[in-house]
Amino acid sequence: MAKTTVVNTVSTKLKQLASEVPQWAAQALNEEAEETMTEAKALTPVKTGRLKRSGRVKKATPWELKAVLTFGTNYALYVHEIPAPPEKSEGGRSANHKAPTQWKYLETPVNARALTFAQRIGDEIKKKIAASGGA
């Protein structure tokens, strides 16, 4: 009888965790995405401010663990791909960006965070599991 109770308790807890972990993963992924977008906006070149203001995060959900970071102007890609002199883009252009802004304003923070991205999300999920009494 006691053995059955323990198995039922563990089974119930595992089912609960299985339903909560996707939500926690989405939440951690969204926090990562928002932090990355904040860093990207700090690097985004500003002439009128429209490009920087257009930065958006499409949030992950428990059913789709994917966050999408975008800048929604028709010239975002061009600004992103035009380097500072003496480098030149494929089209032969370069642009002076006032520090701290730069070209590759989205790619740079994404790449900088990529190496430890999964670890940070895993750590957040582990904290939630521990807080729920699951570990």
Q: What is the pTM of this model?
A: 0.84
Q: Provide the residue type at 119 as one letter.
A: Q
Q: Where are the domains of the chain?
A: 2-131
In the predicted model, is pLDDT for residue 105 greater than 70?
yes
Please say if the pLDDT value at position 112 is more than 70: yes
Distance between alpha carbon 129 and the CA centroid of its chain, in Å?
21
**Predicted local confidence at residue 59, as pLDDT:** 97
Q: What stretches of the chain show up as alpha helix (H) in DSSP? A: 2-43, 50-53, 76-81, 107-131
User: Quick one: what percent of the chain has pLDDT higher than 90?
Assistant: 64
Cβ burial of 18 (10 Å; 0-12, 13-18, 19+) is exposed
Q: At a CB cut-off of 8 Å and minimum separation 6, what does 16 contact?
A: 132, 134
Q: What is the pLDDT of residues 82-97, one digit of tens each?
A: 998 999 988 889 998 8
pLDDT of residue 6: 54
The one-letter code for the residue type at 92 is G
Write out the DSSP string of 46-80.
Answer: -SSSHHHHTEEEEPPBTTB---EEEE-STTHHHHH
Higher pLDDT, 14 or 125: 125
CA 134 from chain center: how many Å?
26
